[in-house]
Amino acid sequence: MGDDCGGLSANRAVGQEKEILHLFQRRFMVERKLGKGGFGQVFVGRRVNGGNERGTGSDAMEVALKFEHRNSKGCNDGPPYEWQVYNALGGSHGVHKVHYKGKQGDYDAMV
């Protein structure tokens, strides 16, 4: 049985988590892991450089960073469906702003 987006075997989880944290280290500081599940892993982070939205470093707004492995069961047919939903609802009251979505290494990432 194959791995899903977040359900990693114990021997692979540590290595993949380090890879995930490394992907955005130049743009975002990952502060802590919120959780993982069948559709990826989610971390809390802050912008460390670039951009002009509410500062950088400890003064920057918190963001959620979500990573889904591209070989997972929900990610085989191109970008995650969730991206389409955010594109359709973007700018609506109560819907979070997407700062970034794209491919990072073997992962589909959304901030």
List domains and CATH numbers for the chain.
Answer: 10-110 (3.30.200.20)
8 Å CB contact between 56 and 27: no
Alpha-helical runs (H) found in the chain: 10-23, 81-89
Three-state DSSP at 109 gives strand
Binding residues: 66
Binding residues for ATP: 66
8 Å CB contact between 95 and 53: no
Pairing of strands 101-104, 107-110: antiparallel
For 2-37, what is each residue's pLDDT tens digit? 344 444 444 455 566 677 667 677 778 888 899 988
Residue with tokens 């049985």: 1
pTM of the model: 0.69
For 90-101, what is each residue's pLDDT tens digit? 778 888 888 888
